[in-house]
């Protein structure tokens, strides 16, 4: 409990510092915020126009398609809010020698590195998603029951765990190679594919997105669980993938730390 409080205080301090930077750069703040809102709204309008005209997309009703889009946004934005620092580990921390100072601090270096930048702009866009998600869920053709809702929550946590694992993996690569944004770029692009129900893709591609790069597990599975379309075997598979990815990414992070060679500081 003491450790949790300590890390929360550190995180709160970092968030406060980032907020101070945002306030000092109001133009950037409003530009980025506006851009993210416009992007969301445009896609939202496009999806509504498309599915209401077509009435069904890969077997899903308009509201179900919107559910997939919202779950994608919740997972993507939540991760971006907390772990934006991952993008800067390579070129800002490691290349400039600041990573050595982080290693000298009495705090977990992975936590400290990925939390170095907390994107409060994304946080501002995350909050309205929850009531929107609630509204869309209530207006689904069949309202989910309690157990579907619980499994949805657990699978969302599982999806977030996989997302976090991707970021930890990128952090490890950044420490070894000074570059993290390539891996993150790849991850973000693949994640963008699951804005829509994964069923629009051919089986081979769905397999890749479920087994090799489990972005489908991250986004599609929670949405399907809420719609009562996911079997218990896939639920168990999702938890297993999350555990394996998290374990693997943390192992890799430790490996990268052991092989880290500081240039100077």
Catalog residues that contact another protein under the rule CB under 8 A.
Answer: 25, 27-32, 34-36, 38-39, 42-43, 45-46, 49-50, 53-58, 182, 185-186, 189-190, 192-193, 195-196, 199-202, 205
Cα separations in angstroms, 209 against 125, 160, 183, 193, 212:
26, 16, 16, 9, 6
Least distance between another protein and beta carbon 173 (Å):
13
Distance CA(256)–CA(75), nearest Å, equals 27
Phi, psi (rounded to 5 degrees) for 108: -55, 120
- The residue among 5 and 55 lying less far from another protein, judged by its C-beta, is 55
- The residue among 60 and 164 lying less far from another protein, judged by its C-beta, is 60
Least distance between another protein and beta carbon 180 (Å):
12
Least distance between another protein and beta carbon 19 (Å):
16
Q: Tell me, what DSSP letter sits at residue 214?
A: T
Least distance between another protein and beta carbon 241 (Å):
21
Joined together, the tokens standing for residue 43 give 């896609």
- The residue among 45 and 236 lying less far from another protein, judged by its C-beta, is 45
- The residue among 65 and 89 lying less far from another protein, judged by its C-beta, is 65
Sign of CA dihedral 68, 69, 74, 77: positive
- The residue among 190 and 243 lying less far from another protein, judged by its C-beta, is 190
Least distance between another protein and beta carbon 129 (Å):
18
Whether 243 and 218 have beta carbons less than 8 Å apart is answered as: no
First-to-last C-alpha distance (Å) of the chain: 34
């Amino acid at each position: 409990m003491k450790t949790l409080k300590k890390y929360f205080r550190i995180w709160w301090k970092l968030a406060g510092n980032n907020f101070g930077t945002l306030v000092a750069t109001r133009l950037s703040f409003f530009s980025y915020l506006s851009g993210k809102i416009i992007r969301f709204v445009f896609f939202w309008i496009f999806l509504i126009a498309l599915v209401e005209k077509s009435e069904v997309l890969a077997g899903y009703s308009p509201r179900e398609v919107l559910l997939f889009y919202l779950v994608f946004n919740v997972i993507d934005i939540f991760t971006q809010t907390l772990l934006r620092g991952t993008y800067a580990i390579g070129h800002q921390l490691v290349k400039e020698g600041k990573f050595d100072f982080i290693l000298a601090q009495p705090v977990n270096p992975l936590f400290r590195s990925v939390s170095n930048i907390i994107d409060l702009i994304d946080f501002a866009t995350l909050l309205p998603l929850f009531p929107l998600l609630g509204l869309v869920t209530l207006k689904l053709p069949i309202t989910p029951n309690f157990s579907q809702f619980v499994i949805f929550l657990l699978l969302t946590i599982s999806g977030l765990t996989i997302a976090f694992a991707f970021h930890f993996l990128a952090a490890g690569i950044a420490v070894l190679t000074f570059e993290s944004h390539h891996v993150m770029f790849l991850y973000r692009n693949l994640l963008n594919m699951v804005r829509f129900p994964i069923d629009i893709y051919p089986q081979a591609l769905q397999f890749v997105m479920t087994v090799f790069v489990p972005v489908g597990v991250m986004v599609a599975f929670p949405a399907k669980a809420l719609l009562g379309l996911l079997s218990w075997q896939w639920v168990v598979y999702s938890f297993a993938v999350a555990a394996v990815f998290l374990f693997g990414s943390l192992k890799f992070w430790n490996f990268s730390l052991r092989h880290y060679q500081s240039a100077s500081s």
